Structure 1
Amino acid sequence: MTDITLSKHVVPATITVSTTKTGGATLSNIAYAVFILFCFWVGSQILNLLVHAPGVLEHLAQGNDATRPRIEMGLAVSTVFGLVPFLLGCMFLGVIGLAVKYRHRHYY
């Protein structure tokens, strides 16, 4: 029988597993967590301002031009014309992302 010798091992003889963690990864994870917590804190402060000070959103939506009529916008109107299109757009982008991921997974 013929003996076949390969130049490289198919399966490495020794597998080294590193059990030490690098300090840079830990510090970057902590920095990212602090950034996310800061974003949540800012968002909660803005929501708190809008809830406890009615009329702020309507005031910010209006210009300083006195010739324009004053717009009184209720919570339902701002939800229908603000939040609903945003959520539908996010859902549309999510469906496109899932379709691309599915197509990439099954065609390559």
Structure 2
Amino acid sequence: MTEITLSKHVVPTTITVSSSKTGGATLSNIAYAVFILFCFWVGSQILNLLVHAPGVLEHLAQGNDATRPRIEMGLAVSTVFGLVPFLLGCAFLGLIALMVKYHHRHEY
């Protein structure tokens, strides 16, 4: 691996606390937390709509083409062919990330 030397420290060794930035940082952290909570709320409302309104997801997936046959897809089918591959893919990517982290940690 290539070794890079920097003339200055990336992380400062002495930490100086400035009181002038505290108010702005606190307000921005609160605004970010409110934004994240809003995103979670919107996501939960969309999931609640899809779970409690049967046929909405299938209707959205089909479009307005009358020549195509109407597909009735149950919750079990959409779970098996939608959620399960997504979770398996996430687990696979997590496993790869852990392997890379383990390899990187024990390489040096």
Q: Please give the secondary structure, in 1, of the residue aligned with 2:57.
A: helix
Quick one: distance in 2 between partners of 1:97 and 1:103? Answer: 10
TM-superposed CA distance for 1:35, in Å, is 1.8
Q: Cα–Cα, structure 1 residues 18 and 107, in superposed 2: closer, same or farther, change >3 Å?
A: farther
1:100: Cα distance to partner?
1.1
User: Are 1:7 and 2:7 counterparts?
Assistant: yes
**What is the TM-score with the length of structure 2 in the denominator?**
0.76
- C-alpha deviations, 1:53-108, integer Å up to 9, x for none? 11101101112111110000000000000000000010011011111111111112
Which sections of structure 2, spanning at least 5 residues, go unmatched? none
Tell me by how many angstroms 1:50 deviates: 1.2
The Cα RMSD (Å) is 8.2
**TM-score, scaled relative to structure 1:** 0.76
Q: Look up the SS of the partner of 1:3 in the other structure.
A: coil
Greater CA drift, 9-18 or 81-90: 9-18
Q: What SS is found at the alignment partner of 1:79? A: helix
Q: 1:22 to 1:15 in 2, by over 3 A?
A: closer
Alpha-carbon offset, residue 20 of structure 1: 9.2
Which 5+ residue runs of structure 1 have no aligned equivalent? none
1:89/1:23 Cα in 2 relative to 1: closer, same or farther (>3 Å)? same
Report which of the two structures shows the higher radius of gyration computed on alpha carbons: 1
Which region of structure 1 is more displaced relative to structure 2, 10-19 or 35-44? 10-19
Matched residues in 1 for 2:2 and 2:79: separation? Answer: 78
Given the superposition, is the C-alpha separation of residues 64 and 20 from structure 1 closer, same or farther in structure 2, using an over 3 Å criterion? same
Task: Name the SS for the 1:25 alignment partner.
Answer: helix
Q: Are 2:16 and 1:16 aligned?
A: yes
Q: Matches of 2:36 and 2:3 in 1, distance apart?
A: 60
- 1:20-73 CA-to-partner distances (Å, cap 9, x unmatched) read 973333233212211210111011110121122111011011121111100000
| Identical-residue share of aligned pairs (%) | 91
Q: Could you say if the C-alpha distance between residues 7 and 97 of structure 1 is closer, same or farther in structure 2, counting changes exceeding 3 Å?
A: closer
